[in-house]
Amino acid sequence: MFFLDPLSHALAAIAAAAHAALTSLGANPASGATWVLCIAGVVAAVRVALLPLAVHAVRLAHTSARARPQLTALDKKYRNRKDPDSMRAYMDERRRIAAEHNVPRLGCLPLLLQLPIWLALYHVIAAVAAGVAVGAMNPALVASLGAASLFGVPLAGRGYLGADLAHFAVVAGLAGAAALLSFVTQKYLAGTNTLLTDLPEAMTRIQQMAPAILAVGVLVTGGVVPVALLVYWVCNTAWTLGQSAVVWRWFPTPGSPAAIRGQA
């Protein structure tokens, strides 16, 4: 994925800089704890950089929720009217409602800009754990991470079954922590901060099943990805949980169960 190279190199530079900063403060450059902190530092840097997009997502959810009753009524009004004049009138009315509620014209497009960043971050951590140098993460740093371990389990190691029970405990613990954080975030924070009214029954069911499906997916893939990537998942899902909790508590989507709870 050569188109991700600029992002991958930028993220590798952040990881290398974090490692240099920690070692300058006296941390052991080959320690697993040092590399765990480096991964956490990369996650923090990326999430801070993406905060404007997170704010945009909250605003989009709020404006869309306020416009939703009018848009739903408009859809019902023009449901069986497919002639050109009616379609033009329908689109004009949608634009008027969107302007009235300040719904962003670009909608979810800015949020899609996050995807290349997540793909690049995954690529960097997976490549480095596999022993492949990426940008500022030169062969020496890659070898250092490859030799580092967490509670005796190599950060480059994979799979639930290793040399001893400790290997299983560490891998299962990291995968379980990431799965639990993901489930709690989606089920009790994001799920209750989402409007499900007027959605087709099939979409509502999928929305309700998503937390469990995502959690199971993390547990399954936890047995095939490097331990370093599991560390990244735990750090990233922990940040997501904290960020979602702030939105759920202080900026709930109007009309959602979270907003109703706050009003009560």
Q: Report pLDDT digits (tens) over 64-112.
A: 888 888 888 888 888 888 888 888 888 889 889 888 888 776 666 666 7
Pair 53, 68: CB distance under 8 Å: no
Min mean pLDDT across 29-33, 105-109, 127-131, 161-165 is at: 105-109
Burial pattern 104-142, b for ≥16 Cβ within 10 A else e, equals eeeeeeeeeeeeebeebbbbbbbbbbeeeebbbbeeebb
Mean pLDDT of the chain: 89
- Two structure tokens written together for 112: 């899609």
Q: Residue 65: which of 28, 36, 30, 102 has the closest Cα?
A: 102
Segment holding 140, helix H or strand E: helix 139-147
Has residue 118 got a pLDDT over 90?
no
> Residue 228 contacts by C-beta under 8 Å, 6 or more apart in sequence?
35, 39, 125, 128, 129, 145, 155, 156
**Which tops the pLDDT comparison, 107 or 238?**
238
The confidence score (pLDDT) of residue 106 equals: 64
Pair 207, 194: CB distance under 8 Å: yes
Burial pattern 190-227, b for ≥16 Cβ within 10 A else e, equals bbbbbbeeeeeeeeeeeeeeebeebbeebbeebeebbb
Task: Give the C-alpha separation, 75 to 32, whole Å.
Answer: 56
Classified as helix, coil or strand, 154 is strand
Q: pLDDT, tens digit, for every residue of 170-197?
A: 999 999 999 999 999 999 999 999 887 7
Residue 134 dihedral angles phi and psi, to the nearest 5°: -135, 110
DSSP class of 150: E
Share of the chain above pLDDT 90, in %: 55
Half-sphere exposure for 188 (CA within 13 Å, toward CB): 9
Residues counted in the chain: 264
Task: Give the C-alpha separation, 132 to 239, whole Å.
Answer: 27
